[in-house]
Amino acid sequence: MATRPTRPAQRARYDARRDDLVRGAARVFAERGYDQTSIPELAEALGLGTGSLYHYVPGKEQLLIAICDQLMEPLLARVAELDQPDPAARLRALVRLWVAHVVEHRDHMLVFQQERHVIEHGAQWKSVRTSRKRFDRLLEDLLGEAGVADPQLAHWALLGMVNHTAQWFRPRGSRTPQEIADGYVDLVLPPTPPSVRPAGP
């Protein structure tokens, strides 16, 4: 069973190991598919014995949830820290970190997209659904504030293009995530005077 150690020192090591395993599972699932990957296969790909996995995760579906949490939580945290006063600038910053997050979590994204119907219908998936809705709402509001002509359509369009980035982005490609993000923002935002446009990190 998945028993988390109580001693702080061991607990830190345990949590780190668990995070690594979840990340590894995301990679394997993205490549082979969640349902197509058996637990023995997964365990072997992670360098573990069949049953050892269960020391860290209570089951296969929980593992999937953990992958989605590992994707959503840091994204929401980073978004919460945005503090640009100008809405257009905040939007651009948001899309930048969003695209960056997507390409840094390509595997998680691919798994997330494949398992759409479980996430939408599953009983244990409420928290993930809530996270996604929070992000959606936040994005749509920001698009309105930024003066986009049709915020609702822009919202759907952005969701589509940014998330889809996971499917074609290659780390050794010719564009940086930031360039891609700026390209996306330029599509939905009315032309902005360069003075307002942030310089990027």
Partner DNA sequence: TATGAATGAGCCTTCATTCAT
Partner DNA sequence: CATGAATGAAGGCTCATTCAT
Considering only 23, 24, 54, 87, the residue that binds DNA (CB under 7 A) is 54
| Residues near its own copies, by CB under 8 A | 1, 30-36, 40, 110, 113-118, 121, 150, 153-154, 156-165, 167-168, 175, 180, 183-184, 187-188
Cα–Cα dist 68/185, whole Å: 26
Q: How far is the CB of 171 from DNA (least distance, A)?
A: 29
Q: Rank residues 32 and 129 by Cβ distance to DNA and give the closer one.
A: 32
Cα–Cα dist 146/88, whole Å: 5
Under rule CB under 7 A, residue 124 binds DNA: no
Under rule CB under 7 A, residue 45 binds DNA: no
Residues that bind DNA (CB under 7 A): 1, 3-6, 10, 13-14, 17, 35, 37-40, 48-52, 54-56, 58-61
